[in-house]
Structure 1
Amino acid sequence: MSKISHLIEMIITLQYKGLTTATELAETLEVDKKTIYRYISSLNKANIPVHTKKGRYGGFYIDQEFFMKPSKLSEEELQALLMSAQILTKENGFVYESELQKAVTKIKSLYINSDNELNYLNEDGNFKINEVGSLQNLQDKISQINYAMSRGRTLSINYFSINRNNLTIKKVDPYNLIFREGSWYIIGYYYKNDKVETFKVSRIQNLKVTEEIYMIPHTFSLKEYLDENWAIFKGDKNKIIIKFDEKVSEFIKNGKWHPNEQIQNLEDGSVLLTIYLDELDEIKSWILGFGKNAEVIEPVELREEIKKEIEYIYKKY
């Protein structure tokens, strides 16, 4: 990730979380603490009001008057961006075609994983939007999560499951709140499964801070957890192989999609991504988001479902 991306994530994290330590920022951005201090210096030089609170319970914080939201493109702006990627090619004299394609792929990925909605592109380049809904806005949820962490209180969350397409009540001890790849996530102990898991804040319909008290085990390390568990998809029942052409192969190779993923380079510049999932539904919209640049090799069941989706879209248009 570039320095600019790190600086933006730092600003957003400080804006929403408030007082945050250098260690937390370093673990979230996967850099060392010295780099965090250099980033803070860079932000101050850019007149962004980041301050330091010294002492045992100190850290960095940003003026409450300062506010920055992640930019959100309109549908027309997205369409223009996609069209430009088709027009600006090396054949037409545009020498940065490869870089533009990578940038467009990254932006498409961010919109697939938006905090407020799940988007994907159909074959015509149009966006289809599936609202997962939110009875509480993002700022309210972030505020309550931070309050629960500061007081050591367990959360009761009403969580949307894409696999089961329903809402379930989950009891979670929030250990940390991180901003990754355009979305907010809770890292915390999930009572039902008796282990630490990741929960996407955008899938929380509503939450409640309970009176139950918890303490983070001294053996827990955010860095170790992220190193071992951070991935977009998880599971082990169904083997899935997807072929990505050379236009998006670098993006696939640079991402972390599954804890036990396998990526095979092919002679034509494309790659084969092999992962395992318990359910197939959660990956369909992600694959469709790559349009013609992705092809499901197996299982046949998923390939047929993608085919039916495309046929439905074709008839609709």
Structure 2
Amino acid sequence: MIDNTKMQTELRSLFAQLKIFFNFKENIVEMPVNRNALIRYKAIDTCLRNRRRRWTLEDLIEKVSETLYDYEGMEKGISRRTIQSDIQVMRSDKLGYNAPIIIVEKKFYTYEDPNYSITNIPLSDADLSRMTEAVEVLKQFKGFSHFEHLNGVVQKLEGHIYASAHNQHTIIDFEKNENLRGLSHLNIIYDAIVHEYVLEINYQSFTAKAPSLISFNGWWLKEYKNRWFVVGSKTGFNSVTSLALDRIHEVKANKEALYEKSKLGLTPEQFYEHVVGATVNEMRPKRILIKVRGEHVPYVATKPLHASQKIIETGDKYMIIEMRLIPNFELEREILGYGPGMEVIQPEGLRKRLAEKTREASRLYSAE
């Protein structure tokens, strides 16, 4: 157990801020997630630590109500039942407090231990491990200024965790690409989508010789394998377009232009329901049959290519899977990545395209 009281207090305070913002589930770390509850616990703690005054239940209710008004602007008073419930929670180990709250003379509340405070509870090694994992999750939001005010908190929390446990190391390694171009555009695009502003984008596709200016109505952001896309429509066009952020040279919001909302009537989840990746070429999925061979069988069985994957036949060192998908570049790349371990049976068009690409690859190696 770590016994640096000051550091533990700050760690709990910092992590409480993070939990309040992200509304983390209790299985990350056993701490209160409700802002008002946290304020009430701290107000009660402050009262009970002040031993120059004797605190009745009515006194605690009044003090907590004043504190909530100061911090949250809540004018409605707190009920007796709420404060009594808070005291029971603080007495229990539900949040790890185990507060020694006693009643003196059947009327006055106080701490049996005059040195006790809920802010002095030491953190266990398990707590530090969970906090480290939570910090790694939070760091994935890098690039969104919507979360910028938490950057300092995250860095401070991370520093304290490592200082508290000298041999503490990250046990979760997320896939990321810190050098990916276009991440600096995330915030302005995100903000434009939220406020329904038209985006003026200087964009250059991989096939274009020079960038061109596009008036674009962004509907949502899509991430696939560390690459970000803004999805929407060009002004005056009905078709859905995906623009890769790493191909954007410049972007700004035009707050005066008329924003064109999506007419799809679909959520992003529904739009990508039948694809692998971020490209939707059409809206009608096809029945795709693939024969998986050899060492790839158990891997594909436990890590499906898509949520619609079903195993319809198994044999000696092979299986046939069925999916309902819209063929696209990302799916082709996934299949080709398995080399001879995957064979497309149908549809015929997809089979022919992959066969030709396989022959081209074979010719490259045959030249050696």
Give the shorter-chain TM-score range.
0.3 to 0.5
**TM-score where L is the length of structure 1:** 0.46
TM-score (norm: length of structure 2): 0.41
Bigger relative contact order, structure 1 or 2, given CA contacts below 8 A and separation 6+?
A: 1
Query: Which has more strand, going by share of residues?
Result: 1
